[in-house]
Amino acid sequence: QKEVEQNSGPLSVPEGAIASLNCTYSDRGSQSFFWYRQYSGKSPELIMSIYSNGDKEDGRFTAQLNKASQYVSLLIRDSQPSDSATYLCAVKAAGNKLTFGGGTRVLVKP
């Protein structure tokens, strides 16, 4: 069974610190990797996509991919209270189907 695993949290982070979120996946054929942010009562919002090994930076967000270790991570620098949300890791293998992890709840404390 193809799985995507995340620590459910909550990950408690002081304001201004770096939040580090991890995700592992089981399907070695996975090609595309995404991070979504979901505020309570809202739908998921795409914040990062990454397709090749290494780092990809976008503003305060950095996605890191290591296909050999089947591992993708998300760093949030200078965390703000507005970053408090659930972060969903999603993985796409061949075809168009996304498989989601269970999500990590992040709590940024002022």
Partner 1 sequence: SAVISQKPSRDICQRGTSLTIQCQVDSQVTMMFWYRQQPGQSLTLIATANQGSEATYESGFVIDKFPISRPNLTFSTLTVSNMSPEDSSIYLCSVEYRDNEQYFGPGTRLTVT
Selected binder of partner 1 within 3, 15, 45, 78 (CB under 8 A): 45
Q: How far apart are CA 108 and CA 78, in angstroms?
A: 10
97 sits near partner 1 (criterion: CB under 8 A) = yes
Selected binder of partner 1 within 42, 57, 78, 109 (CB under 8 A): 42
Angle at 87 between CA 64 and CA 26, to 5 degrees: 60
Q: How far apart are CA 92 and CA 31, in angstroms?
A: 6
3 sits near partner 1 (criterion: CB under 8 A) = no
Selected binder of partner 1 within 46, 59, 78, 80 (CB under 8 A): 46
Q: Is the dihedral of CA 101, 104, 105, 110 positive or negative?
A: negative
37 sits near partner 1 (criterion: CB under 8 A) = no
Q: How far apart are CA 76 and CA 14, in angstroms?
A: 12
Selected binder of partner 1 within 17, 49, 70, 75 (CB under 8 A): 49
7 versus 17: smaller Cβ distance to partner 1: 7
23 sits near partner 1 (criterion: CB under 8 A) = no
